Amino acid sequence: MRRTLRRIPAIIGVLLVPAVLAQEEGARPATDLSRIDRTVAREPAYQSDGARYALLVFGPKANTRVWLVMDGDTLYVDRNGNGDLTEPGEALSVSAGAFDIGAITEADGTRHSSVRVLRGRGHVRLRARIHGLGTHYVGEDPGEPLQFGYRAEEAPIVHFGGSLTMRFYHAPPDLVAGKRTAVNVMIGTEGLGKGTFASLDCGVVLDGDAAPVADIAFPHKDPRRGPILVRIRVEDD
């Protein structure tokens, strides 16, 4: 889920909050999730007053789109991605605080397994085993919980299998000149909305052939000069 950049010395004589940017050779541009139509074609008669919405999208271009609607202890899952939540077999009951969705199959036949929604107090977590990429985790950062929207047009969008990037785990650290600091980051795919970052089990990335790197931009103590850029390799804890 998260990994620590190797310890590095800060190189400016002031407190710094750097920006960590992902770099991936030949990386695909991220899909513009804000352009996705968040309209549910058909909905059941909900039993609670506070049905809440989220949208899962799969694949590099987010072509497979699966609505989730939590209605009390029932979760409606648009398994076939046609926007109709009234079809048989799309209502799940909660068990031990979780909804086990199971497998989701994209239109091209790509199958993702072990999709689960874990319900907590005031937030939700998602887990899914994405084909070829291992388990993904959503809503695990306590500083940025995932919350479903109260209207479809406000639904958070979680993107599985999209372009990879990095982001801080929890709050960015303060770096001080001459001191070595661990920077905790997550590797995964950005979503749309708070808490939607889908992070990989980083052991899958760091123990394989990939060699992720991070570019860190340090603002120069002289405001007339440009930032100082440092590229480092992301390593395991």
Q: What are the pLDDT digits (tens) for 17-56?
A: 333 333 444 445 578 999 999 999 999 999 988 899 999 9
Could you tell me which residue, 197 or 120, shows the higher pLDDT?
A: 197
**74 CB burial (10 A radius; 0-12, 13-18, 19+):** middle
At 26 the pLDDT is 43
pLDDT tens for each residue of 70-108 = 999 999 999 999 999 999 999 999 999 999 999 999 989
Cα-Cα-Cα-Cα dihedral sign, residues 89, 50, 82, 135:
negative
Kind of pairing, strands 157-160 and 52-58?
parallel
**In the predicted structure, residue 203 carries a pLDDT above the cut 90:** no
**In the predicted structure, residue 111 carries a pLDDT above the cut 80:** yes
CB 55 within 8 A of CB 157: yes
At 122 the pLDDT is 73
